[in-house]
Every structure is written in structure tokens, then in C-alpha cells.
């Protein structure tokens, strides 16, 4: 997650990293596990691999369904013997962090117990990790998504491949907003191979992963590490260059809404693809230019700065088809589309007669997340530094 308006808790990115004694977090600018705009966290060190991976590793994903399908999570194992840790696979961040039994403010069940792992090595760096986007579609307000994390290393096992001495962080404190999460943490899947992903690649698998994040009613969502499952999409994958450092970005030449565009929407921009964020986020002027092409009734929602909405009675079947235009590696224009049904992300808690809309304003960030990704099979090619898309095959 990066961080910003997404409600979904999470998956977004951390906006800044403050750390106590000279943490590497400060020394090495690497995007954080949750975050986008921010400095980067230390890279994971993988010293050895226990098993060889024979074929691509499929990790089933569950839909964190809050009325809208915008966030998916799955299991990895940490420690010896392995303890199951549920995580959001977050392309908006690069590190692994999850709640440990040391976190008394973490209300999730089945927290990781470091005392039960013979291979767990506790580090001494404690840092705070604020996110720009959260787990749901709520904008982050007044730093209400902040994790306090401690460095450590342990064995991480994903789909039978074990990587020893992976750098990770245990969450020792979290703000209450995170308590909604049905998962324990976040596995960063940024564009430079880190942690267990680097270990998997060393077994000889292609350096890429694929995401099939489906609507709740379809199910069978999956992260495939080291492979592409051709049965899950239609037609051919179209690839575009990835230009982010740490995060995943593709340059776009135009945004259009319901077939119309404006000079503001025609600018070239690098759009971040963040599987950990639910909504989409653009700067205020771009956000308002898009809403102007949908309905004059969509207004900023004062209780949650950055969020917009309109009376639920008016949202009905408002057309809100958003096309993002990109250029393929072959030099051809192609669009990725968010269909109208994604416009309504549900009523605001503080005012259930007002329905929140898909786009959150966040100056300095241009990002799409789950609401776009669920309409495509996506390939995140670390080795080739490119992204591939094809319409989902269901």
C-alpha cells in the first residue's frame, strides 16, 4: 500500500520513514513496504535457499470484501517450524512486515510468535512507518495509519521454497485503523527483487510474478511467482516499460472519462500500479477534472479530506468509464479501463446517505490500484522491467 486515500487499509505506501538510531531505513532510500512516495527500506538479504523450485509457485489469494472487491491477501510462512502469516502482496512497497505477539495494540488473531521460531533473529532497529494509503478506501487523515516496526531476520517459506535469513520487520505497535485488517501484514512486491522473491528467482524461475485478482463472486484469485498462467486471460499480453524505482510505474499519455478528455487529463504522467491500494489517487486538479466529466453532484467530503462523494440516491448507473492510455513496447497505444461499476465504493461511515466515489485527491501521487487491476491479468516482470496486461479470462 502506499498510502493515501484508499480505504482499504492498506496497501499503500508509506510516506516517510522516521527511525531511531541510524536505521538503514534512513540510509538507503528504498520504498517502504507500504508506500509509495517515500524513502525505501533496506533491501532483504537472502543468504541461502533450502529447496529448489521446480515450477512456478501459485499462492491462493482471498478477497478482503468490504462491499467492494479491492484488496487481496494470501499466506506465507515464517520461522522454524513455519508459522502461517497472512499478508497483502503489495506492489507499492518493498519490505515484509507483520504483527508479532509483542504487539499488544494489534487485535488480529494468530500473530507471529518470535519465541516459537528457532531461526528468528531479533534486530535492534525500531522505526515508524506511516502510510499514505490505508487498507480500505478511507483517506489517511492525521497520520492515522502508522506502524511501529522492529528489524529481524528469519526463514520465509512461500509455496515450498524456503529462503533463510530474510530481512523483515515485526510490527510492535499499530494505530487502531489497522485493526480492521483480516491479515497480519504486508509483503512488499516492489519492482526490484527483494526478500523471498529474490530467493525464488535464484532457484532458476523467471524473475516475474503474475496477479489474477478477481471479483468476490468469481474467486480463485492467485499470485503466481515465476510464471504466467495463460488459462486466466484472453488474447495476448500487451507489455509496457516499467519506469519506477522500487515501485511499479508506467507512463501514460492521456486519461479520458466516458470518451472525453481535457488538457489537464492529456498530460504525460507516470502512473503507479499498487496492488495494495483500493481506490485510485490523483492530484486535486486531475481528480476534479475527471469528476467534472462524470457528474456535477460529486463533491469533496469534508469529514475525510481527499475523499469525494455524492448522495447515494444519485449514484445509480452514472456512466464513469475511465480509460488510461499507455504505449506498448511495440509502440502502439493501448487503454486500460476502469468500468463504471467501480465508481461507487460505498457509503461513508459518518454519513451513510453519501456514497464515496473511486477517485481520491492526493497531491503528488498518481496511482491506480485494485479497482483497475481486477479487470486484467497482470504480469510484473522484474527481470525485464516491464508490465504486461490482458483482459481477465472470466
Ligand X SMILES: *[C@@H]1O[C@H](CO)[C@@H](O)[C@H](O)[C@H]1NC(C)=O
Q: What residues line the site for ligand X (CB under 6 A)?
A: 60-62, 74-75, 84, 86, 256, 258-259, 321, 323, 325, 333-335, 337
**Residue 10 or 193 with smaller CB distance to ligand X:** 10
Strands 359-361 and 280-282: parallel
Question: Among residues 271, 357, 349, 267, which one has the least CA distance to residue 309?
Answer: 357
Q: How far is the CB of 115 from ligand X (least distance, A)?
A: 20
Q: How far is the CB of 185 from ligand X (least distance, A)?
A: 13
Q: Across the chain, which distance is largest between two alpha carbons, in Å?
A: 60
Residue count of the chain: 394
**Residue 192 or 254 with smaller CB distance to ligand X:** 254
Answer yes or no: are the C-beta atoms of 307 and 139 closer than 8 Å.
yes
**Residue 59 or 129 with smaller CB distance to ligand X:** 59
Residues 316-337 as b or e (16 or more Cβ within 10 Å = b): eebebbbbbbbbbeeeeeeebe
Dihedrals phi, psi of 325, to nearest 5 degrees:
-100, 130
**Residue 282 or 348 with smaller CB distance to ligand X:** 282
**Residue 58 or 346 with smaller CB distance to ligand X:** 58
Q: How far is the CB of 133 from ligand X (least distance, A)?
A: 22
Cβ neighbourhood burial of 27 (10 Å; 0-12, 13-18, 19+):
exposed
**Residue 61 or 152 with smaller CB distance to ligand X:** 61
Q: How far is the CB of 321 from ligand X (least distance, A)?
A: 5
Question: Among residues 132, 165, 202, which one has the least CA distance to residue 382?
Answer: 202
Q: How far is the CB of 363 from ligand X (least distance, A)?
A: 25
Cα separation, 237 vs 263, in Å, equals: 30
Question: Among residues 370, 307, 292, which one has the least CA distance to residue 138?
Answer: 307
Answer yes or no: are the C-beta atoms of 237 and 211 closer than 8 Å.
no
Q: How far is the CB of 255 from ligand X (least distance, A)?
A: 9
Q: How far is the CB of 132 from ligand X (least distance, A)?
A: 26
**How far is residue 201 from each of residues 57, 89, 198, 209, 347, measured CA to CA in Å?**
11, 17, 5, 10, 43
**Residue 223 or 382 with smaller CB distance to ligand X:** 223
Q: How far is the CB of 24 from ligand X (least distance, A)?
A: 31
**Residue 184 or 281 with smaller CB distance to ligand X:** 184
CA triple 266-376-219, angle to 5 deg: 145
Q: How far is the CB of 254 from ligand X (least distance, A)?
A: 7
Cα separation, 355 vs 151, in Å, equals: 40
Cα separation, 54 vs 97, in Å, equals: 27
Question: Among residues 271, 281, 274, which one has the least CA distance to residue 251?
Answer: 271
**Residue 74 or 246 with smaller CB distance to ligand X:** 74
Answer yes or no: are the C-beta atoms of 371 and 70 closer than 8 Å.
yes
**Residue 20 or 220 with smaller CB distance to ligand X:** 220
Q: How far is the CB of 362 from ligand X (least distance, A)?
A: 24
Amino acid at each position: 500500500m502506499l498510502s493515501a486515500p484508499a480505504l482499504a487499509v492498506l496497501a499503500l505506501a508509506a510516506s516517510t520513514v522516521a527511525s531511531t538510531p541510524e536505521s538503514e531505513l534512513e540510509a538507503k532510500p528504498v520504498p517502504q513496504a507500504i508506500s509509495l512516495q517515500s524513502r525505501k527500506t533496506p533491501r532483504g538479504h537472502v543468504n541461502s535457499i533450502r529447496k529448489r523450485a521446480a515450477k512456478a509457485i501459485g499462492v491462493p489469494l482471498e478477497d478482503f470484501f468490504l462491499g467492494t472487491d479491492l484488496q487481496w491477501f494470501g499466506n506465507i510462512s515464517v520461522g522454524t517450524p513455519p508459522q502461517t502469516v497472512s499478508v497483502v502482496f503489495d506492489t507499492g512497497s518493498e519490505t515484509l512486515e507483520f504483527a508479532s505477539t509483542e504487539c499488544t495494540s494489534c487485535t488480529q488473531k494468530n500473530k507471529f510468535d518470535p519465541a516459537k521460531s528457532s531461526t528468528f533473529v531479533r534486530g535492534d532497529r525500531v522505526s515508524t512507518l506511516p502510510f499514505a494509503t490505508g487498507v480500505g478506501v478511507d483517506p489517511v487523515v492525521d497520520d492515522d495509519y502508522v506502524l511501529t516496526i522492529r528489524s529481524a531476520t528469519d526463514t520465509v517459506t512461500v509455496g515450498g521454497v524456503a529462503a533463510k535469513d530474510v530481512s523483515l520487520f515485526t510490527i510492535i505497535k499499530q494505530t487502531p485503523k489497522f485493526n480492521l485488517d483480516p491479515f497480519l501484514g504486508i509483503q512488499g512486491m516492489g519492482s526490484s527483487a527483494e526478500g523471498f522473491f529474490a530467493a525464488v528467482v535464484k532457484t532458476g524461475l523467471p524473475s516475474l510474478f503474475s496477479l489474477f485478482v478477481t471479483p468476490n463472486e468469481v474467486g480463485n484469485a492467485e499470485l503466481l511467482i515465476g510464471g504466467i498462467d495463460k488459462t486466466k486471460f484472453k488474447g495476448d499480453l500487451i507489455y509496457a516499460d516499467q519506469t519506477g524505482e522500487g515501485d511499479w510505474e508506467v507512463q501514460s499519455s492521456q486519461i479520458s472519462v466516458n470518451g472525453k478528455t481535457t488538457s489537464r487529463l492529456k498530460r504525460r504522467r507516470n502512473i503507479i500500479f499498487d496492488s495494495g491500494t483500493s481506490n485510485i489517487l490523483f492530484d486535486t486538479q486531475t481528480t476534479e477534472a475527471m469528476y467534472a466529466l462524470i457528474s456535477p453532484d460529486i463533491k469533496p467530503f469534508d469529514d475525510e479530506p481527499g475523499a469525494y462523494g455524492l448522495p447515494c440516491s444519485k449514484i445509480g448507473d452514472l456512466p464513469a468509464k475511465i480509460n488510461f492510455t499507455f504505449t506498448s513496447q511495440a509502440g502502439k497505444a493501448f487503454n486500460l479501463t476502469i468500468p463504471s461499476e467501480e465508481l461507487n465504493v460505498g457509503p461513508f461511515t459518518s454519513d451513510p446517505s453519501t456514497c464515496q466515489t473511486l477517485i481520491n485527491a492526493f497531491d503528488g501521487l498518481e496511482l491506480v490500484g485494485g479497482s483497475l487491476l481486477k479487470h486484467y491479468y497482470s504480469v510484473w516482470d522484474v527481470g525485464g522491467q516491464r508490465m504486461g496486461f490482458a483482459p481477465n479470462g472470466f
